[in-house]
Amino acid sequence: MLFDLDGVLVDSRTCIELVWHAWAAERGFDPAPFLRVAHGRRISETIRLVRPDLDAVAETRVLDAMEAVETRGLHPVPGAVELVARLSDTQWAVVTSGSRVVATLRLRTAGLPIPRVFITADDVRRGKPDPEGYLLAAARLSVTPRDCLVFEDSPTGLAAGQAAGMPVIAVLTTHPPTELAGAVSRLDSLAALRLDAGPAGLSLGF
């Protein structure tokens, strides 16, 4: 089971918006165009997409430093703590567009463990919707892509999982169902997932 972080395991929407609003205010920018595309993307790719005239490396460094200390509004998505507690370290991974420092802060603030396989923006050359992160997670878990199940909340993440050849379950915490129509199933939260984790593998129900 390969989980995106923000919006899937951790509700960080308020936290993310606080950071982007503060960053934009300091520069006299409207934060709305950035926030429309930020969910599910690395910071650098959001900046390049919205404002290619900016120094994406420098601005990413600033935003990442702001996110590395901001914890307001962070809490686990319903069902997340209970679900990962039932999984062994060979049965799950996190694949996030955030940096390792920020992702670690959010997991710990939400009371979630740090997985053994933990793929962040620092580990890949290309972020979502490129499948690199999900393929790397599968390789580190020593499983084939077809044996993975991805949980995502954004169209960008959905596209990444599909490009990796993995079925994707959409968690409807960030985007409406119409924007995640390609998922094999859609859940309001992880609390709607029924899991039997035994020695023979995982069995899921909805």
Report residue 31 as tokens.
């934060």
Three-class SS state of 65: helix
**Dist. CA 159–CA 173, nearest whole Å:** 17
What phi, psi does 31 have (nearest 5°)? -75, -20
Q: Which of 6, 11, 64, 153 is catalytic?
A: 6
Instruction: Reply yes or no on whether 4 is catalytic.
Output: yes
Q: Which residues contact residue 51 at a Cβ distance below 8 angstroms, ignoring those fewer than 6 apart? A: 29, 34
Instruction: Reply yes or no on whether 6 is catalytic.
Output: yes
What phi, psi does 91 have (nearest 5°)? -110, -5
Q: Which of 4, 11, 64, 153 is catalytic?
A: 4
Catalytic residues: 4, 6
